[in-house]
Amino acid sequence: MEWSEICSRRLTRHGLVEPQPGATPADVVRAMCGAHAQVMSAAELSVGLRMAKGTQTSVRSALWTDHTLVKTFGPRGTVHLLPAVDLPLWTRTLAAAPRTAPVLLTPEQLDDVVAAIGAALNHADLTVEELGVVVTANTGSWAADEVMPAFGGMWPRWRSAVQVAAHRGVLCFGPNRGRKVTYTNPSRLLPHLGFDLTPGTPDFLIRQYLHSYGPATPAHFAQWLAAPQEWAANVFAAVADQLRPVDINGVTYWLNADDTTPALPPPQGVRLLPYFDAYVVGCHPRGTLFPGLAAQRALSGGQAGNFPVLLVNGTVAGVWHHRRAGRKVHLTVEPFGTLSAKQHEELGAQVERVGEVLEATPILTIGPVTIGRHA
């Protein structure tokens, strides 16, 4: 397979060629294999841009009113939006994956803290501070030891179990209380789903990932999930009968065995993608997606997502930034090369679409972007 075919396949799957008619926010998030939501406004923009008429309000309603989306800790232990109906499958799979982030608890302490978190959140949405009081009271004073480095300070020991609790299916985000984050128990928020908390196999997540980002290698999957490469190679080998190999420049990549999408035309068009958009985070190889100057300006130590990017024909060809000012949103776009008249027209349409999603009047400036990377 050639890069243009791979690129077209991924763009189409993501709804970045044409939005899928009638797609809901949950449909879009499933097609993305999860939407990174560390910056919630960026997640709303990622999802809205993939819908024909979606807005930030559409995404918020799906999350907090309809409960068709859930906000939790997903791949890499980072905050994600996931389709609510798929959450039991996600949690069972993520619970089975090896962790690379340290947990400052013994196995017995970890089990006790996770149980205390689940029980506390079964009855109420709690802030971090409120949850800490309950967890410490029900486990021991050791849970409150400030030993976890975070943002220039130290957090209590129990907080190193928060992501584990999410992956075991007993914690997700609740609605903000003013400016404070709250957590809740998914079985309380989504009682109709039913949660099997037994760790599962990675089959579900491999299929989902390869549908959105295939063809890919076990190493790509490991990087996306923040899991050891050896483990990823072993789990790919265990489901080899469900996969088919694809040769790309002499390297074996993989697709789902039943994924027989015919070759698509080379990618065309201009797209604006916000911070941590799933397309740039999940797609490999990085050197092909971020060619030339893009690797210097739009990657951070090889990490994708720290800059909003301009896509031209499916590859990164610029960076951009937006600033909200009342009912207006000012967009500065810096292409790395010269745009054709048609591409300028497409960029204008994308700017208008960003304004629609953000429910603001957009104002475009083409020029240097001086804002640094997002942490």
For the entire predicted model, the pTM comes to 0.94
- pLDDT at residue number 197: 66
Tell me what the pLDDT averaged over the chain comes to: 93
Give residue-wise pLDDT tens across range 44-72: 999 999 999 999 999 999 999 999 999 99
Amino acid at position 73, single letter: F
Helices within the chain (DSSP H only): 3-13, 25-32, 40-49, 56-64, 87-96, 107-121, 128-139, 162-167, 186-189, 203-213, 218-225, 229-238, 278-282, 286-289, 293-297, 341-358
The CA-based diameter of the chain, rounded to the nearest angstrom, is: 66
CA-closest candidate to residue 311, choices 264, 263, 360, 278: 278
- pLDDT at residue number 286: 93
Domains of the chain: 103-197 (3.30.420), 203-256 (1.10.10), 270-366 (3.40.630)
- Per the listing, tokens 């190999």 go with 245
Angle at 232 between CA 231 and CA 237, to 5 degrees: 100
